[in-house]
Amino acid sequence: MASTPDILSIVTRPTAAVDRLLDWITPQHPIAFVRDGEGLVGIGELLRLEFRGADRFTAAAAAWSELARTAIVHDSVKRPGTGLVALGSFAFADSSDSVSVLIVPRIVVGSRDGIQWVTTITTGETSGLPGASDGLPAGPHEPAGDLVHVDFVPGEMSTKNFTKTVKAALREISRGSAAKIVIARDQSAELPADADLRLPITSLANRYPDTFTFAVDGLIGSSPETLVRVQNGAVSARVLAGSAARGDDRISDGRAAGTLMSSPKDQKEHALALASVMDALAPLSSELHAASEPFALQLPNLWHLATDIEGQLSQRSSGLDLIGILHPTAAVAGTPTPDAIRLIDELEGFDRGRYAGPVGWVDANGNGEWAVALRCAQVSGARITAYAGAGIVAGSDAKKELAETELKFRPIVEAFG
């Protein structure tokens, strides 16, 4: 873990200078977590905390707690996401070579419920509130140039190997090794050196406004799945598992949703994912509620079975505490989770990096929003790698699961295409 400064000084003030949040993201090192025009955008990197291994979540929670304890905060807005805040992204696997990070930006621009604010964060003590300036740099600036265009090709997991791996997973399921195993694959491409990443991020946010569009340390995507949200002791989550392609017209689209809702295979997959989240949250909650049946969530290219969970925490837990307890869920790993993780490691044969790991933000009071990093790609220098997966249960068909991953790649492929 990187060393931390003795003191951070934070000032949050309301502002009227923010119209569209994503206008403030930077072209090569964007930091953002937004949904339907609201959320947080970071400008510049003041502090970077890095974590690895099985204790990455507990180490992050401890480091963040200490940083928050010593911070000097002047916050006249006093809402979740104001004051000291960090945006983070965590590796999927304990053994991953990818580092997990918490990034404290120099400036945070926020918007929620019609209120906009700007937070400036510096090292060292400061006296009083800042002057008249909002703390915003010159701008905002519209993205320049054409859309980024890259040509994705199969990565470490080819399409042929994916279907073979799905069949191997089905054999393990038939032996009773697991009830569900999520198998992922990757695609990669060369990225132009001068690529303006604001363009694909804005494209994702515009096309998928009801999802969490994120950019943290090169991880870019739009996830429909809320891992957990903590707001002043209230906790909520959205579980997604089971999916189907959208129809070409109103009739076929309605038929696709109906078929998904009545599919025993997809209902079973969803029930396993829901149970894993409910079981993890129950010991920490005084109240916890979920609908008895999932609903069909409509996205531009997919239908998902979805269930919303809401509750009240029985003890003081931060978003960082909860993501360490919840991750990985059955939706991205399988059931039973320890067995599924072992089989993923044996069968997939590549490092998922931060794909399907938690991505989101946390403030000094433990509030935060964390999504599962889906429909995403990792930008590393001149290389971009996209990921997609499918939940394998008894009755899964390898060709259909391959087709499902193609649909899940589509948001990233189109945004960068």
Contact 214, 220 (CB under 8 A): yes
Contact 376, 386 (CB under 8 A): yes
**pLDDT averaged over consecutive 10-residue blocks of the chain (417 residues)?**
72 89 92 97 96 97 95 95 98 97 97 94 65 59 68 95 98 96 97 89 94 98 94 92 89 94 92 90 92 91 93 88 92 93 96 98 96 97 95 93 95 93
| Residue carrying the six token digits 């996209």 | 386
pLDDT attached to residue 6? 67
DSSP-assigned beta bridge partners for residue 239: 307
Torsion angle of C-alpha atoms 254, 258, 263, 267, degrees rounded to 10: 110
From residue 119, how far is each of 6, 104, 127 by CA, in Å? 19, 11, 16
Q: How many residues does the chain have?
A: 417
Indicate the residue type of 307.
T
Per the annotation, the verdict on 225 as an active-site residue is: yes
Give SS3 for 172. Answer: helix
Kind of pairing between the strands at 153-154 and 115-123: unpaired
Does 8-125+148-415 carry CATH code 3.40.50.720?
no
Query: What is d(CA 408, CA 158) in angstroms, rounded to the nearest whole number?
Result: 16
pLDDT attached to residue 132? 37
The distance in angstroms from the start CA to the end CA of the chain is: 36
Give SS3 for 134. Answer: coil
Taking residue 338's Cβ as centre, other Cβ atoms within 10 Å add up to 11
Contact 226, 361 (CB under 8 A): no
pTM of the model: 0.92
Domain range summary for the chain, segments of one domain joined by +: 8-125+148-415
Query: What is d(CA 359, CA 368) in angstroms, rounded to the nearest whole number?
Result: 11
Catalytic position from the list 172, 180, 269, 401: 180
Catalytic position from the list 225, 269, 401, 404: 225
Indicate the residue type of 48.
R
Per the annotation, the verdict on 125 as an active-site residue is: no
Query: What is d(CA 25, CA 151) in angstroms, rounded to the nearest whole number?
Result: 25
From residue 222, how far is each of 70, 109, 300 by CA, in Å? 34, 19, 12
Residue 315, token pair as written in the block: 């003890």
